[in-house]
Amino acid sequence: MEILPFLVLPFLASLIITGIHAYLGVHVVERGVIFVDLALAQIAALGATIAILVGINPHGSGAYWISLGFTFLGAAIFSLARTRRGHIPQEAFIGIAYAVASAAAILAMSKATGETEHLKDMLVGNILAVSWPEARRTALLYGVIGLFHYLFRRKFLLISIQPREAEAQGVSIRLWDFLFYASFGFVVTSSVAIAGVLLVFCYLIVPSVGAMLFADRIGPRLAIGWTMGTLVSALGVYLSVVLDLPTGATIVCTFGCVLVLMFLVHVMVHHGRGARELEGARSAAAERGEALHEPGEQPVGRRR
């Protein structure tokens, strides 16, 4: 029990990240831009590297705003890359942006060797080291972004789920895409500094994918995603401290294990439901005096 006070703040930070990322993950999965957070995180890291290169304190507000500015540039690129005909997948542009930003960051770091440890911390993260002021600022920022998405939820969901319908209604796809990616950039820039790239990716994608195994509507998917994120966060943080393991990697592996269990449950439920439906169809056919045959099998005629 002595360990519980030490785990309160990391668990609270995990809940804050879960709240916004489980929702944004629904949009990301529906849009098919699975690796957009990795690309934006790498673009943000490039901005931080440039800030260091020009002599700005990496722990100051100046480096944060430069990093955020680079993220907005990435948001503009991704919103313009969404073509009407879709002959080039948007994910291709996201992958290219990630590769170019990674290479540019490597080139910049080769000229700013003194502060590269800060960039490593930004990408790896250490959620156990989060402070109360940092948690409060992050909660306030995510609250504002969550309110923004709630007020304009119909447009965001329509563009993510039914883009053709949104275009038919005259919605400016590129404008709302930019607003989505820009708000997403605020979240990624802050979350990566706390939890690291891999953990942020899991919080974004895994709860949404797990929820899709059991629900089709947005409401139930969000409820399942938030529940999964909360339970995995608590278990992952606890295991990392008890087993003396890196927290971020432990939570990522916990997400993977829980997702595998959810998939197995989904398979068993789906198989059981299919077997019951087949048995019900056979019973109904037997009552009518008909033979239910497998696909490709010729039906047996009745004897006269």
Q: What is the CATH number of the domain that holds 68?
A: 1.10.3470.10
295 in a domain, yes or no? Answer: no
Calculate ∠ Cα 48-192-67, nearest 5°: 25
DSSP 83-99: -SS--S-HHHHHHHHHH
pTM over 0.75: yes
Answer yes or no: are the C-beta atoms of 250 and 240 closer than 8 Å: yes
184 in a domain, yes or no? Answer: yes
Q: What is the pLDDT of residue 78?
A: 87
Q: What is the pLDDT of residue 210?
A: 93
303 in a domain, yes or no? Answer: no
Answer yes or no: are the C-beta atoms of 208 and 26 closer than 8 Å: yes
Alpha helices in 32-89 (DSSP H): 36-53, 61-80
CB contact set of 72 (below 8 Å; sequence gap of 6+): 182, 185
157 in a domain, yes or no? Answer: yes
Query: Which of 174, 32, 43, 29 has its CA nearest to residue 96?
Result: 43
Question: What is the residue type of 140?
Answer: L
Number of domains in the chain: 1
Answer yes or no: are the C-beta atoms of 122 and 115 closer than 8 Å: no
273 in a domain, yes or no? Answer: yes
Query: Which of 35, 44, 48 has its CA nearest to residue 71?
Result: 44
Which contiguous run of DSSP H or E holds residue 101? helix 90-109
| Sign of the CA dihedral running 99, 105, 106, 108 | positive
| Residue 217 DSSP symbol | S
292 in a domain, yes or no? Answer: no
297 in a domain, yes or no? Answer: no
Q: What is the pLDDT of residue 304?
A: 42
DSSP 254-292: HHHHHHHHHHHHHHHHHHHHHHHHHHHHHHHHHHTT---
> What is the chain's pLDDT, residue by residue, as a tens digit (304 residues)?
566 677 788 889 999 999 999 999 999 988 888 888 888 888 888 888 888 888 887 667 787 888 889 989 988 888 887 765 557 777 888 889 889 988 988 888 777 666 556 666 666 667 877 888 888 999 999 999 999 999 999 999 999 999 889 888 988 888 999 999 999 988 988 888 788 888 888 999 999 999 999 998 889 999 999 999 999 999 998 888 888 888 888 899 999 999 999 999 998 887 766 556 666 666 665 666 655 454 555 554 444 4
Structural tokens at position 140: 């306030």
Helices 61-80 and 90-109 cross at an angle (nearest 10°) of: 150
- List phi, psi (to 5°) of 58: -65, -20
302 in a domain, yes or no? Answer: no
CA distance 288 to 282: 10
Tokens 């299919």 -> residue? 274
Domain span holding position 33: 4-287
CA distance 237 to 176: 36
CA distance 110 to 227: 43
